[in-house]
């Protein structure tokens, strides 16, 4: 037994919000509420709304639609939004009409973004809602992953900063200094610089007479003096104990470095606590002649220059403008 089923327009709108009813000649008769959002104002023919999805199918939209009545797959592209592809099927209910039911498929997320569609624009039983929910869940997950990655990056940066920082003075430690020198000796940088190796004179008597808290405070004050001598591309480091290093970018003359070193010494001497007469000895080496693998030699040569200041009576500056000859280095060990 065959039963005829007649649906009113309201029922069609609720069941198939993206349906489109055409006359045999392609004239638009009516459309579902979501489909109406896709039809440009003034459009009267199917060809005003759609084009074929391939170059050879351009201009024969009704041929594609009629072929779909016979069972072929229907695939159309929106004329005014060619990035959006609709797929569906077609039936011929009679009375010289064709009824299309279309969906966005994989271009759903683009359609939602371009056309401002919401879940109310789709049938509750359609897969479009499931796809929208999955995409929303995916966006939420991606957002959480992005936040997690940002937190991880910040935590890694904090860990690296802590690993390169002297906890007492807040300036670089030895590891941080080596990293800075490695970067500045990179041939791609190619910028000259000076290494200022500093050791406090008579610091031991501060700890012995006044106690380690006073000595620690003095080290902090020395670090502040050195910090005032640095610019954004310079570095100040504490190697340990009362030993410090400045790395100063730029072309320096020996005379300028000697004057700057004496200003550092005078500033440190003014910090002397109680009756302890604290001063500093400086050894300075220029980067000319050193390569990317010469960090140890560079620091050793600055130590040689520092040793020359100590041996010359302390409280003075020794500048070695070229790599120091190994013969003049202080004897190490037996």
Percent of the chain whose pLDDT exceeds 90? 50
With CA atoms as reference, report the closest residue to 304 among 205, 195, 223, 161: 195
pLDDT (tens digit per residue) in 197-216: 999 999 999 999 999 999 99
Asked if residue 221 lies in contact with residue 169, where contact means CB atoms within 8 angstroms, the answer is: no
pLDDT bin (cut points 50, 70, 90) of residue 134 is low
CA atoms within 13 A on the CB side of 55: 0
Asked if residue 305 lies in contact with residue 285, where contact means CB atoms within 8 angstroms, the answer is: yes
Residue 251 token pair? 């072309």
Residue 212 token pair? 């380690």
Position 288 pLDDT exceeds 70: yes
DSSP string, 110-161: HHHHHH---GGGS-TTSHHHHHHHHHHHHHHHHHHHHHHHHHHHHHHHHHHH
pLDDT bin (cut points 50, 70, 90) of residue 143 is confident
Position 173 pLDDT exceeds 90: yes
pLDDT bin (cut points 50, 70, 90) of residue 322 is low
pLDDT at res. 325: 47
Asked if residue 169 lies in contact with residue 162, where contact means CB atoms within 8 angstroms, the answer is: no
Asked if residue 13 lies in contact with residue 30, where contact means CB atoms within 8 angstroms, the answer is: no
Going by C-beta distance under 8 Å and a sequence separation of 6 or more, which residues neighbour residue 300?
324, 329
Q: Which positions are annotated as active-site residues?
A: 242
Structural domains of the chain in order of their starting residue, each with its CATH number? 9-125 (3.30.450.260), 174-319 (3.30.70.270)
270 phi/psi in degrees, rounded to 5:
-70, -15
Going by C-beta distance under 8 Å and a sequence separation of 6 or more, which residues neighbour residue 208?
none
pLDDT bin (cut points 50, 70, 90) of residue 329 is very low
pLDDT at res. 3: 65
pLDDT bin (cut points 50, 70, 90) of residue 313 is very high
In whole angstroms, give the CA distance from residue 26 to residue 47. 8
Q: What is the DSSP letter of 328?
A: G
pLDDT at res. 118: 80
pLDDT (tens digit per residue) in 146-167: 888 888 888 787 777 778 899 9
The CA–CA distances, whole Å, from 118 to 73, 109, 138, 195, 289 equal: 27, 11, 17, 65, 68
Position 139 pLDDT exceeds 80: no
pLDDT (tens digit per residue) in 67-118: 888 778 899 999 999 999 998 889 998 888 999 989 887 778 788 888 888 8
Q: Are strands 85-94 and 74-78 parallel, antiparallel or unpaired?
A: antiparallel
In whole angstroms, give the CA distance from residue 195 to residue 197. 6
pLDDT bin (cut points 50, 70, 90) of residue 55 is low
pLDDT bin (cut points 50, 70, 90) of residue 172 is very high
Lowest mean pLDDT among 4-13, 42-51, 119-128, 287-296: 119-128
* pTM for this prediction: 0.55
């Amino acid at each position: 037994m065959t039963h005829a089923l007649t649906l009113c327009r309201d029922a069609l709108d609720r069941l198939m919000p993206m349906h489109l009813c055409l006359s045999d000649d392609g004239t638009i008769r009516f459309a579902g509420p979501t489909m109406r959002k896709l039809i440009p104002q003034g459009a009267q023919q199917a060809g005003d709304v759609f084009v074929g999805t391939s170059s050879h199918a351009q201009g024969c939209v009704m041929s594609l639609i009629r072929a779909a009545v016979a069972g072929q797959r229907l695939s159309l592209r929106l004329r005014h939004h060619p990035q959006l592809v609709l797929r569906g099927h077609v039936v011929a209910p009679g009375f010289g009409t064709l009824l299309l039911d279309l969906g966005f498929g994989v271009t759903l997320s683009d359609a939602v973004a371009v056309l401002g569609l919401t879940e109310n624009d789709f049938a509750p039983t359609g897969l479009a809602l499931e796809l929208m929910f999955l995409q929303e869940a995916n966006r939420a997950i991606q957002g959480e992953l992005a936040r997690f990655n940002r937190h991880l990056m910040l935590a890694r940066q904090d860990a690296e900063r802590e690993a390169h920082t002297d906890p007492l003075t807040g300036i670089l430690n030895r590891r941080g200094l080596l990293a800075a020198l490695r970067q500045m000796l990179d041939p791609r940088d190619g910028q000259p610089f000076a290494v200022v190796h500093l050791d406090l004179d008579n610091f031991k008597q501060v700890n012995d007479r006044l106690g380690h808290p006073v000595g620690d405070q003095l080290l902090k004050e020395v670090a502040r003096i050195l910090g005032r001598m640095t610019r954004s591309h310079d570095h100040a480091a504490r190697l340990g104990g009362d030993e410090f290093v400045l790395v100063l970018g730029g072309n320096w003359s020996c005379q300028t470095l000697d004057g700057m070193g004496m200003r550092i010494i005078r500033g440190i001497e003014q910090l002397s606590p109680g009756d302890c007469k604290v001063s500093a000895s400086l050894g300075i080496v220029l980067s000319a002649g050193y390569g990317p693998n010469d960090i140890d030699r560079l620091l050793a040569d600055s130590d040689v220059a520092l040793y020359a200041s100590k041996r010359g009576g302390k409280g003075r500056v020794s500048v070695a403008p070229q790599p120091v000859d190994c013969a003049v280095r202080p004897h190490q060990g037996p």
